[in-house]
Chain A
Amino acid sequence: MRLGSAAPGVGAAPIVVDMGEGAVRAVQARKRGEPRVCCYPALHDAIGQADESAACLAGVLDRHGFVGSRVVLIAPRRLTRASLVAVPRAAEGVPIDAIVRAEVARVHGIDDGFEVVKWPLPRSSDATGEAGVMVQAIEHKPALGVVRALERQGLVVESLLPVTPLLTRSAVAMGITGSGMSVLIEAGWRDAYVSALIAGVCVYQRTLSGVGLGAVLAQALDDGADAADAIESEGGRLAGVTDGGLVSRSAAAVADQLGSEAKRVSEYASRRYRGHQLGAALLSGDLWDVPGAEARVAASVGAAARVLRPGALLGAEAPYAPGFGAAIAAAAFATGVAA
């Protein structure tokens, strides 16, 4: 068994694991050639059934030839909370960290321990005198539950990384954000997230609950029917679903809704950061595999739409599916091939 055994994995890059709600993905960069990748349907809830999920993952990684036990885990999207926090201008003695943590705890009603990452926002046009920071937070208890379950399978989680900063950093590294405004649309299986970026920095994020393709399909299907089964019956892959079928129509509806939300987010950001007009919509998530979804978003936002494929950062030639964005970006950053 390769997993958990130190010798064969010595010198190997960490395995990046993205335990999404619709699919679980793993990527491991290699010194030469294409990275190891695998993707399988999420059979268990990564949080509620952490042990089952971790055992399934360990088996899949082993069978797919992944080596070593080091893991970089993409923070499960359901566990991270985004906040925009106004803080006083940085000066000596101002406890910015404490203010941010207190505000995050208050806004999200978090009582126990939690971890935050934050980045400063560019100065907005409405000069109120206050500075702002964007925050992504994760609660310790559920995060530790996932990490410990992986450790019980012999995997060592070395890093836990939030999705949005990974995607925005990869967009900057690929040079596709420029100095203007863009929107990032993360289309998840259950929920979706729309962010406004100024010069590649996320300045605002809106969570759209129940707007994911899986959730929309589940609503459209009869009771008891499974959204994944619907995709399976229409060709098995989102890229090849039947034109005009239920999946295709649902995807079109989701793309339209996300496009209009992205338009609203960009308008909000334009008011806050005057002089910036939307340049492009960056897309991430499985939805964008559905033919025509990308074009519908472009039409809604009135700007070019582009699926974020950071494979180039790893030197990969294969056009990995849009759902691999965060995992591939993390693999590139974790191995140092992208800065």
Chain B
Amino acid sequence: MTTLHTIELLPAPLVTHRRIERLRALWISVGAIGLCLSGTALGVIHGVVLSGGVPGVAELARTEAELERLRNESASIRADAERIAVGGRLGIRMSQRPDWGLVLAMLESLRGEGVVLVAVSCATEDGDDGLPGGRARIIVEGLAESQGAAQRYLLDVERCGMFSSARLGRTVRADAPSRVLTAFTVDLQIDPETSDAG
């Protein structure tokens, strides 16, 4: 509209009236904001000066003593928190221990007809923080009717997803009364974070 202001015929009283209305609206907004700010300032003054008064030397001393007490209390709370944290970690680790019954049931269900389990030994290591509930190690000893049957058992155990690693140990020929078998060991591990058994 800048090019048209030189040929503007809008009556001056109307323009003035609109200007006054705009100014009035502006002043109302400014007044409202001012009132809010004044209220806030009054509240602060009332809280700090009128109701509590200006802090004196005696009150400063009391405050320092209170601060010291709070510091001591804070140290005590920190120590308690540390103990609780250790206990918490222990609880978590204990809850993460494998359910050995489930592990043994799984090993048994996977073996198939050509494999017999002779012995299973389980052991858990302590964690890096010295707490129990770290890595679990399982050694499975068994007899298979062939080297291939032992290999298939290893693969089935690996696929079941319960163990973080599965490795075939030694395999040796074992003579049975009527046939030749393969004695084998499988070395399994369960890491706490990957365990589904616990």
User: A75 within 8 Å of B by Cβ?
Assistant: yes
Interface core residue of B11, B13, B14 (most chain A CB under 10 Å): B11
Number of chain A interface residues as a range: 20 to 34
Q: How far is the CB of B44 from chain A (nearest CB, A)?
A: 39
- Given A115-B9, A161-B9, 13 further pairs, Cβ under 8 A: A113-B12, A117-B7, A136-B7, A138-B9, A138-B11, A143-B11, A157-B10, A158-B10, A159-B8, A160-B10, A161-B4, A161-B7, A333-B3
User: B1 within 8 Å of A by Cβ?
Assistant: yes
User: CA–CA, A312 to B9, complex, Å?
Assistant: 26
User: CA–CA, A117 to B9, complex, Å?
Assistant: 7
Contact, CB under 8 Å: A143 / B9 = yes
A115-B9, A136-B9, A160-B9 known; A147+B4 contact, CB < 8 A:
no
User: B6 within 8 Å of A by Cβ?
Assistant: yes
Contact, CB under 8 Å: B13 / A144 = yes
29 inter-chain pairs at a CB distance below 8 angstroms, sorted by A residue, are A80-B9, A113-B11, A113-B13, A115-B9, A115-B10, A115-B11, A116-B9, A117-B6, A117-B7, A117-B9, A136-B7, A136-B9, A140-B11, A140-B13, A143-B11, A157-B10, A158-B1, A158-B10, A160-B8, A161-B4, A161-B8, A161-B9, A162-B9, A166-B7, A330-B4, A334-B1, A336-B1, A336-B2, A338-B3
Contact, CB under 8 Å: B4 / A115 = no
Contact with A along B1-41 (1 / 0, CB 8 A): 11110111111111000000000000000000000000000
Interface core residue of B6, B7, B8 (most chain A CB under 10 Å): B7
User: CA–CA, A138 to B13, complex, Å?
Assistant: 13
Q: How far is the CB of B10 from chain A (nearest CB, A)?
A: 4
Residues of A within 8 A of B3 (CB): 169, 333, 336, 338-339
Q: Please give me the residue from chain A that is nearest to B5 by CB atom.
A: A159
Residues of B within 8 A of A117 (CB): 6-9
User: CA–CA, A143 to B13, complex, Å?
Assistant: 11
Q: How far is the CB of A149 from chain B (nearest CB, A)?
A: 13
Q: How far is the CB of A36 from chain B (nearest CB, A)?
A: 19
Q: How far is the CB of B51 from chain A (nearest CB, A)?
A: 47
Residues of A within 8 A of B4 (CB): 159, 161, 330, 333-334
Q: Please give me the residue from chain A that is nearest to B8 by CB atom.
A: A159
Number of chain B interface residues as a range: 10 to 19
User: CA–CA, A73 to B49, complex, Å?
Assistant: 61
Q: How far is the CB of A193 from chain B (nearest CB, A)?
A: 16
Q: Is the interface of B mostly helix, strand, loop or mixed?
A: loop
Residues of A within 8 A of B10 (CB): 115, 147, 157-160
Which positions in B face A, CB cutoff 8 Å? 1-4, 6-14
User: A165 within 8 Å of B by Cβ?
Assistant: yes
List residues of A (112-153) whose CB comes within 8 Å of B's CBs.
113, 115-117, 119, 136, 138, 140, 143-144, 147
Q: Please give me the residue from chain A that is nearest to B6 by CB atom.
A: A117
Residues of B within 8 A of A162 (CB): 7, 9
User: CA–CA, A165 to B9, complex, Å?
Assistant: 12
Q: How far is the CB of A322 from chain B (nearest CB, A)?
A: 21
Residues of B within 8 A of A333 (CB): 1, 3-4
Q: Please give me the residue from chain B that is nearest to A80 by CB atom.
A: B9
User: CA–CA, A75 to B1, complex, Å?
Assistant: 16
User: CA–CA, A237 to B28, complex, Å?
Assistant: 54
Q: Please give me the residue from chain B that is nearest to A73 by CB atom.
A: B10
List residues of A (81-120) whose CB comes within 8 Å of B's CBs.
113, 115-117, 119
Residues of A within 8 A of B6 (CB): 117, 119
Q: Please give me the residue from chain B that is nearest to A339 by CB atom.
A: B3
Q: How far is the CB of B5 from chain A (nearest CB, A)?
A: 9
Q: How far is the CB of A325 from chain B (nearest CB, A)?
A: 15
Contact with B along A300-339 (1 / 0, CB 8 A): 0000000000000000000000000000001001101011
Residues of B within 8 A of A143 (CB): 9, 11
Q: How far is the CB of B21 from chain A (nearest CB, A)?
A: 12
Residues of A within 8 A of B13 (CB): 113, 140, 144
Q: How far is the CB of A65 from chain B (nearest CB, A)?
A: 23
Residues of A within 8 A of B2 (CB): 336
User: CA–CA, A159 to B12, complex, Å?
Assistant: 11
Q: How far is the CB of B7 from chain A (nearest CB, A)?
A: 4
Q: Please give me the residue from chain A that is nearest to B4 by CB atom.
A: A333
Contact, CB under 8 Å: B8 / A144 = no
Residues of A within 8 A of B12 (CB): 113, 115, 140
Q: Please give me the residue from chain B that is nearest to A140 by CB atom.
A: B11
User: CA–CA, A58 to B10, complex, Å?
Assistant: 20
Contact, CB under 8 Å: B7 / A144 = no
Residues of B within 8 A of A138 (CB): 9, 11
Residues of A within 8 A of B7 (CB): 117, 136, 161-162, 165-166, 169
Q: Please give me the residue from chain B that is nearest to A144 by CB atom.
A: B11
User: CA–CA, A161 to B4, complex, Å?
Assistant: 8
